[in-house]
Structure 1
Amino acid sequence: NVSAKDLGTSKAQSITITGTSSLSEEEIKRMVREAEQKAEEDRRRKEEADLRNQADSMIYQAEKTIKDLGDKAEQSKIEQVNKAVTELREALQGTDLELIRQKMNNLTTPLYEMSAAMYQQQTENAQQAQPGFEQGQTAGSEEKGEKVVDADYEIKDEK
């Protein structure tokens, strides 16, 4: 039962919703059994959809990384990544989820290696570009002639 009253006009309306048909106990049990049977299939479909989405995302990320790096990456690494992308795309055409997982792992390694090599090269270039930077020197190295002293101190309130 739902009712409402318009305060401005003082008119009230109500509605009652009733079941037009009732299910027998046997029909309810049958429907619950069917739902339980389909739950496993639904879980597998969700897992497949999630895996395919991850694979598509990984392919997109690999292609974007290659495009962003341009000629900064080694050609051999780019070829490895492109080969792994092609294999993953082929695996996505089928229904073998284990094969898709394997091809995703095969793409992860060369993609990571390519990115890591590029960032390492950028770090080395940045360090070499710093004036006064010597090989083996780290940021925060002690300057010439500076003496650092550790000391304990106590602040006393004057009241």
Structure 2
Amino acid sequence: AAYNKKLGQFQLTGIAPAPQGVPQIEVTFDIDANGIVHVTAKDKGTGKENTIKIQEGSGLSQEEIDRMIKDAEAHAAEDSKRREEAETRNQAESLVYQTEKFVSENEDKVPAEVKTKVEAAIKDAKDALAGTDIAAVKSAVEKLATESQSLGQAIYESQAADTAASGNGSSAAGDDQVVDAEVVDDASERK
């Protein structure tokens, strides 16, 4: 945000409180033939929408605009790196949040050794996020993703074992009957 020029501001209000990552906001930017920017933000869940129109009055001279364009072109690689870093951090924060939530919701279904490994991976990811080394963040995200998959696998194995145990008890009663039947369509026989 430090490198941005503020052109306008509006608020999208009336969005229901929701956990991180749940609300879906669609933002569109349209520039018409006259150089007027139309920005629309719409909450897909509630249908609430707000727009703003940004006209020439941005306070920039043509020389300043040309200078900014040249600066942007000169720093394109640096900006790309900064964007990749931001996306990596966002992905890491999201994975940490989702994994913590999943662990807390399924605490009774997760074996202790798997939970310990996942919590260690979460701690490593949080520590990496606190630093500035993006390679460490990527490594921690990969480790957390792997441990998260083992978490899901452990839960499914636990459920499969529970289902098999309860399934064996019900089939032992011998109440299952197989009925063989044939369906006849009377309408086709009348022709």
Under a length normalisation based on structure 1, what TM-score does the superposition of the two structures give?
0.63
Equivalence map 1:1-159=2 (5 Å)? 23=62, 30-130=67-167, 131-133=169-171, 146=179, 155=188, 158=191
Q: Any unmatched runs of 5+ in structure 2?
A: 1-55, 183-187
Q: Number of paired residues?
A: 131
Over the matched positions of the two proteins, sequence identity in percent amounts to 30
Higher relative contact order (CA 8 A, sep 6+): 1
Q: Which runs of 4+ in 1 moved over 4 A?
A: 21-24, 27-31, 143-149
More strand by percentage:
2
Cα RMSD (Å): 3.5
**CA distance 1:51–1:157, change in 2 (3 Å):** farther
**CA distance 1:117–1:31, change in 2 (3 Å):** closer
Amino acid at match of 1:95: T
On the 8 A contact 2:109/2:158 being kept in 1, the answer is: no
On the 8 A contact 1:81/1:111 being kept in 2, the answer is: yes
The structure whose Rg is larger is 1
**CA distance 1:59–1:31, change in 2 (3 Å):** closer
Under a length normalisation based on structure 2, what TM-score does the superposition of the two structures give?
0.54
On the 8 A contact 1:127/1:133 being kept in 2, the answer is: no
Q: Any unmatched runs of 5+ in structure 1?
A: 1-16, 135-142, 150-154
